């Protein structure tokens, strides 16, 4: 077993707020430079760039967790990851079925483009991806786990777009695989004010929207190898695997 650097929160150019430099090619290059072992691709309400990043990253020995940062109807941001491209595709369909049809105004919100390896634009996503989908956080959590995915409420210490800002506290019956904190707070400082969460697993990630921040914040995982299964085990503290020990 050894330590792996894991950054599970990265936006690509597909997110309207993602910088134009955030192409799959550039993200992989920067992750390599920073010594990141596992990177999560989590665009707002879309998984469309994750498979390409996975393919490119594999050549550099970097493992990609494919997913999205979903905005629930309560406007809670949640990271959702899937192991297989089949389950990812089912989840993509679910997102498309529940995203409101509000056209993106690229002047106001930014471009929402899918690119290829050569950084050519393949398609522009029509509907605004930063809207809230019409599903509740409970419905989303069920869907993600039905597809054997990982469900991680994002930046929970932020006073906007987070489960705590929107819902006041983490509902005790919500099945979370981990909770994400921002770079701005330590787990100890957070737990001082939120002692009821002391048994949860916490991660920190970069939430990178521009290239310089890719892998800038990461969490150390102790695991046997870099894989989706091992990440799941580490989040659950199974068989000696652990997070941020």
Q: Which residues pair with 20 in a beta bridge?
A: none
Q: Would you count residue 244 as binding another protein (CB under 8 A)? A: no
| Distance separating alpha carbons of residues 90 and 121, to the nearest angstrom | 24
Of 17-25, 127-135, 161-169, 205-213, the window that binds another protein (rule: CB under 8 A) is 161-169
Using CB under 8 A, which of 87, 131, 166, 194 touches another protein? 166
Q: Would you count residue 100 as binding another protein (CB under 8 A)? A: no
* Residues touching another protein, count (CB under 8 A): 12
Of 33-41, 106-114, 163-171, 215-223, the window that binds another protein (rule: CB under 8 A) is 163-171
| Distance separating alpha carbons of residues 196 and 207, to the nearest angstrom | 25
Residue 130: CB minimum distance to another protein, A: 17
Q: Would you count residue 164 as binding another protein (CB under 8 A)? A: yes
Q: Which is nearer to another protein, 59 or 159 (CB)?
A: 159
Using CB under 8 A, which of 171, 183, 196, 212 touches another protein? 171
| Distance separating alpha carbons of residues 43 and 11, to the nearest angstrom | 5
Residue 60: CB minimum distance to another protein, A: 41
* Alpha-carbon torsion angle 11, 17, 20, 24, nearest 10: 10
Contact pattern for another protein over residues 38 through 77, marking x by CB under 8 A: ------------------------------------x---
Q: Would you count residue 168 as binding another protein (CB under 8 A)? A: yes
Q: Which is nearer to another protein, 185 or 222 (CB)?
A: 185
Q: Which is nearer to another protein, 54 or 143 (CB)?
A: 143
Using CB under 8 A, which of 97, 136, 175, 237 touches another protein? 136
Q: Which residues bind another protein (CB under 8 A)?
A: 74, 136-138, 159, 164-169, 171
């Amino acid at each position: 077993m050894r330590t792996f650097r894991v950054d599970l929160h990265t936006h690509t150019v597909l997110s309207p707020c993602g910088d134009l430099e955030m192409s799959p090619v550039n993200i992989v290059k920067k992750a390599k430079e920073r010594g990141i072992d596992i990177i999560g691709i989590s665009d707002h309400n879309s998984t469309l760039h994750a498979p390409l990043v996975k393919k490119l990253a594999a050549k550099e020995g970097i493992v990609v967790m494919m997913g999205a940062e979903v905005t629930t109807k309560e406007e809670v941001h949640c990271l959702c990851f899937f192991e297989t491209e089949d389950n990812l595709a089912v989840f993509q369909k679910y997102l498309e079925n529940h995203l409101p049809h509000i056209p993106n105004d690229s002047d106001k919100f930014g471009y929402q483009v899918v690119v290829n390896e050569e950084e050519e634009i393949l398609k522009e996503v029509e509907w605004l991806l930063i809207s809230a989908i019409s599903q509740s956080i409970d419905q989303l959590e069920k869907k993600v786990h039905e597809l054997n995915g990982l469900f991680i409420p994002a930046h929970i210490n932020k006073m906007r777009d987070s489960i705590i800002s929107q819902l006041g506290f983490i509902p005790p019956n919500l099945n979370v695989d981990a909770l994400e904190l921002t770079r701005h707070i330590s787990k100890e400082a957070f737990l001082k004010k939120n002692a009821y969460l002391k048994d949860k697993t916490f991660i920190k990630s970069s939430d990178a929207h521009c290239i310089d921040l890719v892998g800038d914040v990461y969490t150390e995982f102790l695991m046997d190898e870099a894989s989706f299964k091992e990440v799941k085990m580490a989040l659950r503290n199974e068989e000696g695997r652990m997070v941020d020990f």
